[in-house]
Chain A
């Protein structure tokens, strides 16, 4: 951990895991959904459900889904902003089994799309999205991440890796998960720098790629 983690992050209180972490998970969920949601449902598990209202967890989740940065002071007005944005939302307590105690299941929907996103707040504001729909995923917001949903056919991973290599993007972490052989699969690729727009568009063009989305790193408080 570096100096900037010790004197930082700049965040909205009160709790790095229950507030900042929640805001970050929801912010990433909104980027993964990549569209304006009309409905959001939050399933709170474990200590996210048990601690009640005192951490502002619900406001933080709602704010993240509204694309408010994790250090945006308007997080505390999230309910009003959701109403203004016409976002319908609901919170439920859920039991997700043997997962991290600070976990949320976020369902985002609009007329065209629906996504079910699972994320956990691991402490100190560190978060991880570990499941998207029925695929294992890996999005932490620590580095630019590429998500590729594709048909499970031979050679896709090599092909995608090749596109990244041609753009001179180094892969820091790659994980892939599929529902069944020959079905659909999701690749999560953490990169040292974001993929340029043209190679991203190219990936989206490939017949066996259902979609490829660039998830930016979490916004850090920029100096000045």
Chain B
């Protein structure tokens, strides 16, 4: 199935993703759903631990941001916004301090889907059980994308990781809120096309900066895409073509901006000093590490 097929199915898109999966793998329906429930539990626990902890991460660059945001005053009076980003950051800070998480689709992008799904569900008071099928749909979106690109920052930049997670989350939230398969698919396409070109330049190659806050930002991005799609906004470029564009951009990106830790933020003087402090080999960059 591609996005065009999925947009046309009658009834919940997740149901068709599940059927296709059962056919391909021979797994039992009950088993797959039980695994999904288990993954939701692991996500929920990661959010809870992450919101309470301010212990620094392994490389020490993050670890307190989710809790800081969560416990702060909210001058914007935008509780959904705060909840979604704090949840997403909580998961990735857990990841960065060697906590237990669900790669969705990768560890670096593990916060986006739970941030958006649990953030919206808690905001509206929906029980976790309602998230099982939307999570299946999120997985289905990732499967469609992964037929065109290898989902890793090293392969096509961060658009492949965070872009995919945002598309997954957007489709899932859309279905959770009663959107049609067509709306879900367009939510994914809108989210994806607005992450195109995002580079993977993590400091030291560690999954901390910019990854943790980036999950916060793009879980909000996913919710925005769902809001647009639910309102009837559609992607002008058909969803499958957006994925092809992403694959092309991924090939055009230079290796420095694909998880090598040799470009972008990873090449800043502060990044190089941080790597040296941790016993790693700082990257060769054009300018000297101390800016002069």
Chain A residues packing against B (C-beta within 8 Å): 1-16, 19-20, 47, 50-56, 59, 71, 73, 75-76, 123-125, 221-224
Which residues does chain A contribute within 8 Å of B146, judged by CB atoms? 1, 6
- Produce 1/0 per residue, B206-247, CB < 8 A to A: 111000000000000000000000000000000000000000
Q: Which residue of A lies closest to B155 (CB)?
A: A123
Specify which of B21, B168, B279 is in contact with A53 (CB 8 Å cutoff): B279
- Bound together, the chains give a CA A157 to CA B24 distance in angstroms of 33
Q: Is the CB of B98 within 8 A of A75?
A: yes
- Bound together, the chains give a CA A76 to CA B280 distance in angstroms of 19
27 contacts across the A-B interface (CB closer than 8 A): A2-B21, A2-B143, A3-B32, A3-B143, A7-B142, A9-B103, A11-B100, A12-B99, A12-B100, A13-B94, A13-B95, A14-B96, A15-B107, A15-B108, A20-B107, A51-B206, A52-B278, A52-B280, A53-B278, A53-B279, A53-B280, A55-B207, A59-B98, A71-B100, A73-B99, A223-B34, A223-B35
Which residues does chain A contribute within 8 Å of B103, judged by CB atoms? 8-11, 16, 20, 124-125
- Bound together, the chains give a CA A2 to CA B106 distance in angstroms of 14
Which residues does chain B contribute within 8 Å of A5, judged by CB atoms? 105
Q: Is B250 an interface residue (CB 8 A)?
A: no
Q: Is the CB of B154 within 8 A of A221?
A: no
Q: Which 6 A-B pairs have the closest CB atoms?
A: A52-B280, A13-B95, A54-B59, A6-B142, A54-B206, A223-B34
Q: Is the CB of B204 within 8 A of A51?
A: yes
Chain B residues packing against A (C-beta within 8 Å): 17-18, 21, 24-25, 31-32, 34-39, 42, 57-59, 94-108, 110, 113, 135-136, 138-140, 142-143, 146, 150-152, 154, 168, 204-208, 261, 275, 278-281
Specify which of A6, A13, A53 is in contact with B207 (CB 8 Å cutoff): A13
Q: Which residue of B lies closest to A50 (CB)?
A: B281
Q: Is the CB of B42 within 8 A of A55?
A: no
- Bound together, the chains give a CA A53 to CA B31 distance in angstroms of 38
- Bound together, the chains give a CA A50 to CA B42 distance in angstroms of 31
Q: Which residue of A lies closest to B281 (CB)?
A: A50
A52 and B39 in contact, given A7-B104, A14-B207, A20-B107 (Cβ under 8 angstroms): no
Q: Is the CB of B135 within 8 A of A224?
A: no
Specify which of A3, A53, A124, A222 is in contact with B58 (CB 8 Å cutoff): A53
